[in-house]
Amino acid sequence: MRAFFQSQAASNPEIQLLVDSVALGGEGMTAPVSFNLQSETLDTLFAAHGNDAQ
């Protein structure tokens, strides 16, 4: 799944920041997803979509 998101984000640096922050795991029937976003990443994402983060 990560490869799919990587390919979608290749031409979009804002999305690339988000993809790079995601950690996928898994064991058996469990698939945990975690992410760690810095405030600068959120600001960049909001700015790219015309939303004011403040």
Note the pLDDT tens digit of each residue in 6-28: 787 778 777 787 788 878 788 88
| pTM of the full structure | 0.48
Report the 3 state secondary structure along 3-53.
HHHHHHHCCCHHHHHHHHHEEECCECCECCEEECCCHHHHHHHHHHCCCCC
Residue 48: predicted pLDDT: 74
For residue 3 the two structure tokens come to 């490869």
3-state SS class at 2? helix
The chain-wide mean pLDDT, for the chain, equals 77
